[in-house]
Chain A
Amino acid sequence: MDSTDLTLLLERCRRDEPGAWASLVENYAGLVYAIARSHRLDESTCDDVAQSVFAALHRRLHAIREPAALPGWIKTSTLRECWRAARSKPAVELTRDLPEPPPAPTLERIETAQKVREALELLGGRCRDLLYRLFLADTRLDYVQAAQDLGMPIGGIGPMRRRCLDKLGKILGQSDNPTQIPGPTRI
């Protein structure tokens, strides 16, 4: 979501327009849950974290001065809620050796994933559908399956993939800089 879209969406939320808050939830719930899950919190604690973050956001809707800083604020607030939740849990002492869990994804990788997901939403239409099926879906499809799914000839998938990636690159501003969510958290 670019800053213009975000500004408009926040305006709609402030006016309590139907569907506006749901859109905000739709855009950022995944990010909040991803950060919470990366802290290895159980699912009900992740629910609590998400609820606290969105409740705080709702209370602050009228005080937000810089819409572009919203993703950074959501990230910081989620981190804080995760830490609070973890601190409030009693420490568990392990009584036997357990295998090391796989390393949790870094915040930077979660931010990259969020940026890609937002760019795909902006892309929309068949391009979003194709790239989602090829790269993000639970079951990634090959050319043949993707062509069947989208009702296209197999020979059309390659050129379409190239065009769609080209558009995605423009949305992401793919340059020599890594993708990042804007940093300032003061909203």
Chain B
Amino acid sequence: MAPDHPPTPPTDETILAHLLGDPDVSDAASVPSAQAADPALAVRVGRLRRMLDDLATAGSLAPMFAVSAAQRERLRRVADPAVSPTPSTAPGGLARVARLVLDSFAAANPALGFRGAVADRLVRFESTELVVDMKISAPSPDEPVSVLGELLPAGPALIALSDLSDHPIESTHAVGDDGFFEFAVVPGRYRLTVETPMHVLDLGIVGFGATPPATGPGGR
């Protein structure tokens, strides 16, 4: 008895026809069974499917990306100093000042304050609307300080850090929809602001890592 010939693997065109539901390709229906027998083929099909999904996403959102000629022209003219809009510095809503209600360093040794502390530092800021918890890693040489935190109530937000130089550089870190955030920062003192769709919360100046604690006004 002659041995069975292994089935010919489907071509990329056949796979595409299967994924796109093309009615004219007769052997497109063979793709699922071929995938089951060939893991490498299953991976290839998976990649193609993801790309087609991404294309479908781009297609369904195309109207949201539409920019009219007039809108485009206005944005081009932003580069013209004669018509460039004045920068807006207003946060679009009053920033609330948060209270520092917990600081593990101060709690551990109030007499020393922040000085001499080597462990991770836990801090909690509160306002009427928001609570921000942060765990700031202990400083170590040549390493950035890592910050893990949670915002309550959970929701999307941005945490902006600006250094205290004459020309402050700001970095912004996203808070996930679940309220958790994580970032690394060069040791130093920064002004922190938390911005949510509804509120702006000023956490004041916070020392991260090796910098000695602030004892002046506004330092935390």
Which residues of A does B touch, CB under 8 Å?
16, 21-22, 25-26, 29-31, 33-34, 37-38, 47, 50-52, 54-56, 58-59, 63, 73, 76, 79-80, 82-88, 105, 109-110, 112-117, 131, 135-138, 140, 158-159, 161-162, 165-166, 168-169, 172, 174-176, 178-179, 183, 185-186
CB-defined contacts of B52 to chain A, threshold 8 Å? 165
Beta-carbon nearest neighbor of A131 in chain B = B55
B interface residue count range (under 10 / 10 to 19 / 20 to 34 / 35 or more)? 35 or more
Beta-carbon nearest neighbor of B157 in chain A = A83
Beta-carbon nearest neighbor of B197 in chain A = A83
CB-defined contacts of A162 to chain B, threshold 8 Å? 12-13, 16
| Beta-carbon contact of B54 and A115 below 8 Å | yes
Known: A105-B64, A169-B51, A178-B50. A84 touches B91 (CB 8 A): yes
| Beta-carbon contact of B65 and A31 below 8 Å | yes
| Beta-carbon contact of B48 and A165 below 8 Å | yes
Q: Which of B50, B54, B71 has most chain A Cβ within 10 Å?
A: B54
A-B contact count (CB 8 A): 154
Known: A76-B158, A110-B61. A51 touches B74 (CB 8 A): yes
Beta-carbon nearest neighbor of A161 in chain B = B16
CB-defined contacts of A140 to chain B, threshold 8 Å? 59
Which residues of B does A touch, CB under 8 Å?
12-13, 16-17, 43, 46-48, 50-52, 54-59, 61-67, 71-72, 74-76, 78-79, 84-85, 87-88, 90-93, 156, 158, 169-174, 195-200
CB-defined contacts of A51 to chain B, threshold 8 Å? 74-75, 78, 85
Q: Which of A38, A55, A82 has most chain B Cβ within 10 Å?
A: A55
CB-defined contacts of A114 to chain B, threshold 8 Å? 65
CB-defined contacts of B78 to chain A, threshold 8 Å? 21, 51, 54-55, 58
Known: A29-B67, A159-B13, A185-B173. A138 touches B72 (CB 8 A): no
| Beta-carbon contact of A55 and B84 below 8 Å | yes
Q: Which of A29, A47, A56 has most chain B Cβ within 10 Å?
A: A29
Q: Which of B63, B74, B76, B198 contacts A22 (CB 8 A)?
A: B76
| CB of B185 to closest CB in A, whole Å | 10
CB-defined contacts of B88 to chain A, threshold 8 Å? 52, 84
